[in-house]
Structure 1
Amino acid sequence: MPAPDAPQREAARQLELRRRMREVETDILARAPEHDLEPSLDRIAQVMELLGDPQRSYPVIHVTGTNGKSSTTRIIERILRETGLNVGRFTSPHLHSLRERISIGGESIPAEKFLAAYDDVLPFIETVDAASAAADGPRMTFFEVLVAVAYAAFADAPVDVAVVEVGMGGGWDATNVIDAQVSVFTPVALDHQHFLGDTIIEIATEKAGIIKADAIAVSSVQDEGVLAVLAERAEEVGARLTVEGVDFGVLTRDVGVGGQQLSVRGLAGDHEDLFLSLHGTHQVHNAALAVAAVEAFLGGGEQALDDEVLRGALMDVTSPGRLEIVRRSPTVLVDAAHNPSGALALREALEEEFTFVRLIGVVAILKDKDAQQILEALDPVLDHVVVTRSSSPRSMRPETLGALAAEIFGDHRVTVIENLPDALDHAGALADDGGGVGGGVLATGSVTTAADVRMLLGRNEV
């Protein structure tokens, strides 16, 4: 019998890759999820030490904050790639695939490289799991395993620099087994209080833990108390703190077609007539923060970036699931806002940059989030809200969320539909009511909601 030809062999190889990837994903997902984390660096530090500390073989820019972390991380990474560097990027959570979280050279890590890195780290993970179990401790979590895979993959590539978003918090976040040259802080607000603390000062104290000795910390505009916490940490470890509005910032901003025109002041110079292909005032501030972070990294804050590099990067940057248009006629937007400050930023962007005659919300919120404040933030911009549930097992029951929404929007502006596909169809019909001119749909409330709607509309890649 003749040997299979090359296309058949490749098809068989791809099939085996998909099978193995599903198997590994199942094994990783069987661990404690990222919302049920273990606040300790002990286990991940042990694994990295057994591996030879690969995370110390490349420089790192570390990004924390409450909202805007993923977008800022993506902007930093895109600028660095425009300078010619091979960049690793670690973000969370993912929209559709675990591999999205680990990017090398602007692309999600291929299945082969993900599996190779996983196979490299697994024996050491199992060693640490066994030692922890012997002491009545937990296995490594889902998130800790992904951090180990990412850091090993970046070393193997190798990358010239990694841009790493924290999962939650900072000091004890599993990503914090690095000594980042630049630490970046997006706005700090209340979220994940059951892990990070009930006050903004407690949360800021935890996040400040990513500032390392002799580093440069780059912060967005913050509450006065937050800045005091960051300044104290920087002084304690001998780092330099730079702050938006003092050391860098947005000079001008105008809404444009498909994005925004802006000029920014970096740490080392002004950059004018830039175009950012993202929506919302918050994204302009994320861009200014990213420019300052890159200038801090490449030249210690003393060498201005080339404007053509910035133009090429900012006009091309993407942030899937963040005020993203995923369909036209009617326009369907998805946004991963999942806390009150995120919902407020979303509302402001809608008010400034979109002119819908009617806007229908499709809202599904996780049960551990502040649904009331999220809904109150969106009330002024939604003509009607269709309450539903996402695919997350943590999604709030539609009946419960619907009753809360009715108190805020009024019964006549709320429809409860259990099934998300049906809710999206109903919202589209409401947006089209009266001829469909100027109507739109906004799907929001959680990352899972944004991901589910993207997938329903055929956007399953990032």
Structure 2
Amino acid sequence: MDEFDEIIASERDRDPDLAVIEAGSRTLRTQGGPAAEDAVPARPADPAVDRALRDVETELSKRWGETKLDPSVVRIRALLDVLGEPQQAYPAIHLTGTNGKTSTARMIEALLGAMDLRTGRFASPHLQSITERISVDGAPVPAERFVEVYEEVRPFVELVDERQPYRLSFFEVLTGMAYAAFADAPVDVAVVEVGMGGTWDATNVIDARVAVLTPIDLDHTDRLGSTPAEIAVEKAGIIKPGATVVLAQQPVDAAAVVLRRAAEVGATVAREGLEFGVLSREVAVGGQLLTLRGLGGEYPEVFLPLHGEHMAHNAAVALAAVEAFFGAGAGPAGSEDRRTLDPEVVRAGFAAVSSPGRLEVVRTSPTVILDAAHNPAGARAAAAGVSEAFGFSRLVGVVGTSGDKDVRGLLEAFEPILTEVVVTRNSSHRAMDVDRLAALAVEVFGEDRVQVEPRLDDALEAAITLAEEEQEYAGAGVLVTGSVITAGEARVLLGRAGGSGGR
């Protein structure tokens, strides 16, 4: 992803559209009851801390994104060298893939936390606050700590800037901050998501004993490749010699690339559907009930408070990653070496999982669901999850996308489940022009099913009004999707900006 563009979009307080978003939220958040406890931090209550965090965001936003520089880990290695190699202070689980990274990382984090391990998690992009990118003990670091970490690493960042042909990028600085914060905490294990790709991603200076590859599909094709196999070459670059690779179900050509890379570096591979997987699943109130087969054995009656078959597969991958981290399932079946995790701890960990912006219910009467799907594969998974978990007789979509995505493919994936669609735009300068989006939507849905509302608050109001026309509110809903930024801004509008987060 273009991290520079993401941070510009997150600078909502300096975007003219944010005034509209914040004003609209005062109206929208009063319409309907609250949902579950928020898992995304609000802006700091202390004005001085809030100003300091905004200043840090402003400074970071002036840095280039990774895609504006030649692919390289030279700059991040130089930064970590002067910081004293903080990434070597703890073991790590490293994740890449096209979809499912954040949810899988959150599940890994929750499982490790249930085992009383102190975790650090580095994620991107953020939904609402930049502090979400660096979590310790299952919660985003407080704004005060985020500012402190930036101030601690800034002299070293400036030193490296002076020595390199190009300054460190936005994402490289954040990566250095995360690795330093984890060492200072200190954490017992770091759970690290790549920003984009793998081989040349700034996070790939960490020597992770477990490499997780979530499903690979087409996205960022202009930068990573035009086929799953080409994209897999870049993503397989996170596999280190001697590591364990946890491989989600993949297209055959992508899987072949990963297996070849693993063989080249002497890594062990655990494959979903062979060494581990989902044995059974059934829809339950508030989520689903799973039986998972891990590397060390079976784990029945696992409640996962997330919707969709794709989340069940993410859970299987997360479980295998944690088992691999502890060496579970290392021996032959029936041997004492074939260790398993405590099933009660596994159940407790999964029961505590949250994943904001991923089929997240943020309002009732009518039900409003947020999903950050931004490519066709993610949209197909979200559409299937909504169809399975909710019995809507009428579902209105609010769609705001980025202009550099396969928007037609995304709209086509959602078309079968949406009665109408309200097209809009978020505050990012990357957002697709609403008239262009409307034209595509008309081609996919037909003119009579498309409504245009350039402002996101107006789009939410329009969609809620359409849903309320259904006589039985329980049969009507609104799905807000198309972009992480759209989901995050809708979350603000609907009054879900508070809360300290956590597992």
Give the TM-score, by structure 1 length: 0.95
The corresponding residue for 1:7 is: none
Distance change >3 Å, CA 423–CA 13, structure 1 → 2: closer
Matches within 5 A, 1:232-243: 232-243=260-271
SS at match of 2:289: strand
Q: 2:298 aligns with which of 250, 267, 270?
A: 270
Matches within 5 A, 1:438-449: 438-449=475-486
8 Å Cα contact 1:292/1:301 also seen in 2 = no
Q: Cα distance, 1:434 vs. partner?
A: 3.5
Question: Quick one: higher RCO (CA 8 Å, sep 6+), 1 or 2?
Answer: 2
Q: Which whole-Å CA distance do the structure 2 matches of 1:15 and 1:343 have between them?
A: 39
Deviations 1:11-46 (A, max 9, x none): x99433222221111101121246656521110111
8 Å Cα contact 1:279/1:323 also seen in 2 = yes
8 Å Cα contact 1:329/1:436 also seen in 2 = no
1:418 equivalenced with 2:450 (yes/no): no
The corresponding residue for 1:261 is: 289
Deviations 1:280-329 (A, max 9, x none): 00000000000000000012543211111111111110000000000001
The corresponding residue for 2:376 is: 340
Q: Which whole-Å CA distance do the structure 1 matches of 2:88 and 2:484 have between them?
A: 31
Give the stretch that moved more between structures: 342-351 or 296-305: 296-305
Q: Which whole-Å CA distance do the structure 2 matches of 1:97 and 1:37 have between them?
A: 25
8 Å Cα contact 1:208/1:233 also seen in 2 = yes
1:451 equivalenced with 2:479 (yes/no): no
Q: Which whole-Å CA distance do the structure 2 matches of 1:426 and 1:112 have between them?
A: 38
SS at match of 2:461: helix
Q: Which whole-Å CA distance do the structure 1 matches of 2:425 and 2:67 have between them?
A: 18
Q: Which whole-Å CA distance do the structure 1 matches of 2:317 and 2:273 have between them?
A: 11
Q: Which whole-Å CA distance do the structure 2 matches of 1:295 and 1:318 have between them?
A: 20
Deviations 1:154-212 (A, max 9, x none): 00000000000111001111100100010001000010111111121111000000000
Q: 1:281 aligns with which of 304, 309, 334?
A: 309
Q: Which whole-Å CA distance do the structure 2 matches of 1:274 and 1:34 have between them?
A: 39
Q: Cα distance, 1:120 vs. partner?
A: 2.1
The corresponding residue for 1:409 is: 445
Q: Which whole-Å CA distance do the structure 1 matches of 2:176 and 2:386 have between them?
A: 38
Matches within 5 A, 1:23-102: 23-33=55-65, 36=68, 38-102=70-134
Distance change >3 Å, CA 48–CA 345, structure 1 → 2: same
Give the stretch that moved more between structures: 392-401 or 26-35: 26-35
Matches within 5 A, 1:81-230: 81-132=113-164, 137-230=165-258
Q: Cα distance, 1:214 vs. partner?
A: 1.0
What is the identity, as a one-letter code, of the residue corresponding to 1:240?
T
Q: Which whole-Å CA distance do the structure 2 matches of 1:13 and 1:393 have between them?
A: 28
8 Å Cα contact 1:188/1:222 also seen in 2 = yes
Give the TM-score, by structure 2 length: 0.87
Q: Percent identity?
A: 55
Distance change >3 Å, CA 43–CA 187, structure 1 → 2: same
Q: 1:319 aligns with which of 327, 344, 355?
A: 355
The corresponding residue for 2:336 is: none
8 Å Cα contact 1:344/1:377 also seen in 2 = yes
Matches within 5 A, 1:286-297: 286-297=314-325
The corresponding residue for 1:3 is: none
8 Å Cα contact 2:245/2:262 also seen in 1 = yes
1:385 equivalenced with 2:421 (yes/no): yes
SS at match of 1:176: helix
Distance change >3 Å, CA 122–CA 194, structure 1 → 2: same
Distance change >3 Å, CA 384–CA 13, structure 1 → 2: closer
Q: Which whole-Å CA distance do the structure 1 matches of 2:264 and 2:379 have between them?
A: 35
Q: Which runs of 5+ in 1 are unaligned?
A: 1-11
Q: Which whole-Å CA distance do the structure 1 matches of 2:65 and 2:415 have between them?
A: 32
What is the identity, as a one-letter code, of the residue corresponding to 1:277?
P
The corresponding residue for 2:13 is: none
Distance change >3 Å, CA 35–CA 312, structure 1 → 2: farther
Q: Which whole-Å CA distance do the structure 2 matches of 1:222 and 1:201 have between them?
A: 10
